[in-house]
Amino acid sequence: MGNIWVTGANGQLGQELQELASGQDNWYFTDLPELDICNQEACQGFIEAHQIQTIIHCAAYTAVDRAESDPETTFRTNTQASFQLADLARKADAQLIFISTDYVFDGNSPTPYRESDPCTPISVYGRSKREAEIGIQQSGAKGIIIRTAWLYSTYGSNFVKTMLRLSEERSEIQVVNDQLGSPTYAKDLAAAIRHILPQLDKHDFHGEIFHYTNEGCCSWHDLAVLSLQLGKKDCIIRPIPTTAYPTAAHRPAYSLLSKEKIRTVFGVETPDWKASLAKFFEELLP
């Protein structure tokens, strides 16, 4: 693997990867304002200066609702910058791991989405990531794309930590119960990537897509209820339909991802979402 560059170092996944960075490899973690991934010249200089052999591209514009009113920034960050990184990776003969999303799907599937299923994103954010996937595949760069969903961690802001905060401020919280998927503990995803890294050179992948989340299916309401139980918070969680909580961006009603492919090809573990949530709370509330 040699010299590994992680973009979006201050994000949830980036910080979890920093905890796992070890061994004989040289890890480089960058984020704004140190290095702007939209600056192709700066990125090229960084790759050349550090002789980067693997890029783990975590940086992204992830404000899903704000993206609807700011598509220019969203596509510049998520799509154009990813095109440029893929081109630079190809020229440097470096492996690229691109982190994508379940929002590339419209949520109308009756069964868990496989990597080969058609993508019809219903939000600006989802379209920006899908176009990035296509561009990366067309770039000729070596590496893989990992789609994930509902990410949470002890770092940064996320749904689980928001529920904990709101439970301190309110006696009752309303949470949608008709959007189904599977949460992803960022520490588990980071461990999966760490497990995959030494295997990349054994394969001739050029933008091959894999899915990774925790196992099982739940609604945002289910996740909120268990989060407050594990966090020992006394707050009522009221289930509501999506129609009662309108947002700027449309979200897929069902975005459960099949993990069969990533388990088969790389032998990664996909722990149950409830078990991983319990581990999260063990770390958050020792």
pLDDT at 110: 92
Dihedral sign for Cα atoms in the order 6, 10, 16, 22: positive
> Both tokens of residue 56?
């783990």
CA 182, CA 49: separation in Å to the nearest integer?
A: 40
40-99 pLDDT, tens digit per residue, is: 999 999 999 999 999 999 999 999 999 999 999 999 999 999 999 999 999 999 999 999
CATH homologous superfamily of 3-150+184-215+256-271 equals: NAD(P)-binding Rossmann-like Domain (3.40.50.720)
Residue ranges covered by each domain of the chain: 3-150+184-215+256-271
User: Which residue in 125, 152, 155, 254 is the catalytic one?
Assistant: 125
101-118 pLDDT, tens digit per residue, is: 999 999 999 999 999 999
pLDDT at 22: 78
Element (H, E) at 49: helix 40-50
* 286 pLDDT higher than 80: no
- In the 8-state DSSP scheme, what is residue 79? I
189-213 pLDDT, tens digit per residue, is: 999 999 999 999 999 999 999 999 9
User: Which residues does 269 contact at the CB level (< 8 Å), separation at least 6?
Assistant: 188, 191, 192, 263
Cβ atoms of 52 and 92 closer than 8 Å? yes
The reported pTM is 0.97
136-165 pLDDT, tens digit per residue, is: 999 999 999 999 999 999 999 999 999 999
242-268 pLDDT, tens digit per residue, is: 999 999 999 999 999 999 999 999 999
Q: How many beta carbons lie within 10 A of that of residue 13, not counting itself?
A: 27
- 254 flagged as catalytic: no
**How far out from the chain centre does Cα 8 lie?**
11
Cβ atoms of 188 and 252 closer than 8 Å? no
Q: Predicted confidence band at 6 (pLDDT cuts at 50, 70, 90)?
A: very high
Higher pLDDT pick, 224 / 23: 224
Q: How many beta carbons lie within 10 A of that of residue 171, not counting itself?
A: 8
- Radius of gyration of the chain from its Cα atoms, rounded to whole angstroms: 19
